[in-house]
Chain A
């Protein structure tokens, strides 16, 4: 008898350890979310969707910067995500086994600009769900203070007149010289170059020279012509990067330990007049305690680098967020996921969430002109997108060959800022790294 009890007890112990691994038959959509800042909104959406359809939406959010890790881990489980996202063609090459063809889905038929989707052959494998823009965010109040300042050396009287690098640098340098009178520590927020936080330069800013190079060479981003670059517009990168470094709140030698949040906080506290970032940064500015910047004073201007004809250049607008449906789950589950997307981006309730809570600028024709997010930077992006005579810079950094390429570039920029690397060395390294990494990835 005792023996049996002992056996039963120890079995219970073992079985207990596996409790919770049971499977249920209810309909579930599993979504692995990329954006931690909106994780809470998805909980609301999930509730609303369950009420509307009776289908459960399980949203898991990967912590900042760990999306690939989380995705790799989740894909190895039985309960793999039905909906996930990739960052463009490079992401697609890694996840092609898991991306279902979306060309017959309803949501794809509503995508206004079909060239934005990730395609391969005749198939469509990733649908962009949010359009974002970045440029130089400036504090209009400080700019006005400068324009009203009697001792200024430039003849510029409004930010509207800044439309190329020459004017921008003249204004910035004059502002820096008078920073005490303007009540700022520097014109630009710290060029945060802490490892892992350097993407605003090694990815976003680097987009400009690459964009111009590809544009000049008429290079199709999906062709293998992107296998090497000459970095011919590197000097332009240097122009603006030097401007950031030399007219900053922080000395260049200390930039290796500054992170992105710090520089956004400097902007929010009115310690600087400008910072390079995108419309997602609005919450970072308005959410900072002691924020002194009024909503209406947050404006965007394009990143001018001294390229000929840049007067008509706009913001950098594009996306690196492409939704994919997992091809390894059952047809039925794939259908559920597609239906959910259509609900989120097509139904009144769903669209309300997208516009007002997720604050996404989307590229779907289901949204009318008045159904756009109303936060200040998003509005600015939309207005730059539609400005007549302005050419938007596309996000060509989605073809940057690998994260190592970006990291190496970032650390070279740090060394350049610290003075231990010359610009020639940086640009040689960029060219060599690109070719090498492209080769390794393909």
Chain B
């Protein structure tokens, strides 16, 4: 078995490897190359060196504004999504009646696409703000909190499932021992349960971090950046740079490369920190 696996490994892996090359590695390398060129069509490029990277910061502040907005949004949504998801998971792993129904209901928003969610929440929020004769475009703060609510609604269910799985893996003998030793409920939660579900926390914070940072469709459908470009996040800023000014395709590409480096770096640091907190039972 082992031997034949080794023998045919290359053949069976080939289709996937080719697909991965075509859909990921090649576009990625091309993307990096394109960030050093000026182009309209990607097969017709002029090399310009670092000019595009300089233009990111000199032409206007849109990138820095988007970065700041995205950072604020990411911090808020990591905290809220994970706290709510963990809370729900705790409630729904106690064996109360209808647990499965609740789990399905909370998970469902995750199955709806971002654009649709964006439009639904746009209608809902405008419906509420309409009472005060304003709408979501009135202030950047409305758009910000709208996005936070939307993201929470969408991601909590998914994270909850991961936490539920984590909680089910906490050995009951450890909890029982803590109970007998006289640990209070909060003590059991913070000193036993949470350290034991640290692997789930690692995964969930990673997922919320990277998806909040890369959020695009929800942003487009909910606010499209309004008012002005004050609520546009990094991905949308890149998109706008690419299409809204002639000759700025390379600059957008450079922004995308910077964006990639940022996301990779932050996610790496986060993984290192949360991993170091994981414990064995």
What is A's interface to B at a CB cutoff of 8 Å? 6-7, 10, 13-14, 17, 68-69, 72, 75-76, 90-91, 93-95, 97-98, 193-196, 251, 253-257, 402-404, 407-408, 411-412, 414-415, 418, 420, 437, 440-441
Complexed CA–CA distance, A32 and B116 (Å): 28
Complexed CA–CA distance, A194 and B119 (Å): 13
Give every chain B residue within 8 A of A407 (Cβ-Cβ): 229, 244
B14, B44, B130, B245 — most chain A CB neighbours (10 Å): B245
Q: Are B59's CB and A440's CB within 8 A?
A: yes
> Are A414 and B227 also in contact (CB < 8 A) when A6-B8, A76-B41, A256-B138 are?
yes
Interface of chain A, main secondary structure: helix
Chain A residue nearest to B244 (CB atoms) is A403
Q: Are B12's CB and A76's CB within 8 A?
A: no
Give every chain A residue within 8 A of B243 (Cβ-Cβ): 68-69, 403
Complexed CA–CA distance, A437 and B229 (Å): 16
Q: Are A440's CB and B245's CB within 8 A?
A: yes
Give every chain B residue within 8 A of A420 (Cβ-Cβ): 138, 227
Contact of B137 among A72, A93, A414 (CB under 8 A): A414
Give every chain B residue within 8 A of A414 (Cβ-Cβ): 137, 226-227
A256, A414, A437 — most chain B CB neighbours (10 Å): A256
Complexed CA–CA distance, A14 and B43 (Å): 25
Query: How does the 8 Å CB contact mask read for B128-141 relative to A, with 1 for contact and 0 for none?
Result: 00100111111000
Chain B residue nearest to A13 (CB atoms) is B15
Query: How does the 8 Å CB contact mask read for B206-227 relative to A, with 1 for contact and 0 for none?
Result: 0000000000000000011111
Give every chain B residue within 8 A of A193 (Cβ-Cβ): 137
The yes or no answer to B122 lying at the interface (CB within 8 A) is yes
- 25 chain-A/chain-B pairs, Cβ below 8 angstroms: A7-B11, A10-B12, A10-B15, A14-B18, A68-B243, A75-B43, A90-B246, A94-B247, A98-B41, A194-B224, A195-B137, A254-B126, A254-B133, A254-B135, A255-B135, A256-B137, A402-B245, A404-B244, A411-B227, A414-B227, A415-B227, A415-B228, A418-B137, A440-B245, A440-B247
Q: Are A14's CB and B227's CB within 8 A?
A: no
Give every chain B residue within 8 A of A404 (Cβ-Cβ): 240, 244-245
Give every chain B residue within 8 A of A415 (Cβ-Cβ): 227-228
The distance from the CB of B137 to the nearest CB of chain A, in whole angstroms, is 3
The distance from the CB of B123 to the nearest CB of chain A, in whole angstroms, is 9
Q: Are A257's CB and B135's CB within 8 A?
A: yes
Give every chain A residue within 8 A of B245 (Cβ-Cβ): 402-404, 437, 440-441
The yes or no answer to B42 lying at the interface (CB within 8 A) is yes
The distance from the CB of B254 to the nearest CB of chain A, in whole angstroms, is 15
Q: Are B134's CB and A253's CB within 8 A?
A: yes
Q: Are B14's CB and A402's CB within 8 A?
A: no
Give every chain A residue within 8 A of B229 (Cβ-Cβ): 407, 411
Q: Are B136's CB and A94's CB within 8 A?
A: no
Q: Are A256's CB and B136's CB within 8 A?
A: yes
Complexed CA–CA distance, A255 and B133 (Å): 10
Give the contact-size bracket for chain B. 35 or more
Interface of chain B, main secondary structure: loop
The distance from the CB of A262 to the nearest CB of chain B, in whole angstroms, is 12
Chain B residue nearest to A442 (CB atoms) is B247
The distance from the CB of B278 to the nearest CB of chain A, in whole angstroms, is 40
Give every chain B residue within 8 A of A95 (Cβ-Cβ): 40
Complexed CA–CA distance, A75 and B39 (Å): 12
Give every chain A residue within 8 A of B240 (Cβ-Cβ): 404
Which 7 A/B pairs are nearest by Cβ-Cβ distance?
A256-B137, A195-B224, A403-B244, A94-B246, A75-B41, A411-B228, A257-B135
Complexed CA–CA distance, A408 and B11 (Å): 54
The distance from the CB of A420 to the nearest CB of chain B, in whole angstroms, is 8
Give every chain A residue within 8 A of B133 (Cβ-Cβ): 251, 253-254
Complexed CA–CA distance, A10 and B18 (Å): 12
The distance from the CB of A93 to the nearest CB of chain B, in whole angstroms, is 6
A14, A90, A404 — most chain B CB neighbours (10 Å): A404
The distance from the CB of A101 to the nearest CB of chain B, in whole angstroms, is 19
Chain A residue nearest to B126 (CB atoms) is A257
Q: What would 7 more interface pairs be, CB under 8 Å, given A407-B229, A418-B138, A440-B247?
A: A6-B8, A14-B15, A72-B41, A253-B133, A256-B226, A402-B246, A418-B227
> Are A257 and B43 also in contact (CB < 8 A) when A195-B224, A404-B244 are?
no
The distance from the CB of B143 to the nearest CB of chain A, in whole angstroms, is 10
Complexed CA–CA distance, A40 and B224 (Å): 30
> Are A256 and B42 also in contact (CB < 8 A) when A407-B244, A440-B59, A440-B245 are?
no
Q: Are B135's CB and A408's CB within 8 A?
A: no
Give every chain A residue within 8 A of B224 (Cβ-Cβ): 194-196
> Are A94 and B40 also in contact (CB < 8 A) when A195-B137, A257-B136, A415-B228 are?
yes
Complexed CA–CA distance, A256 and B133 (Å): 11
Complexed CA–CA distance, A407 and B14 (Å): 47
The distance from the CB of A201 to the nearest CB of chain B, in whole angstroms, is 15
The distance from the CB of A417 to the nearest CB of chain B, in whole angstroms, is 10
Complexed CA–CA distance, A412 and B224 (Å): 15
The distance from the CB of A254 to the nearest CB of chain B, in whole angstroms, is 5
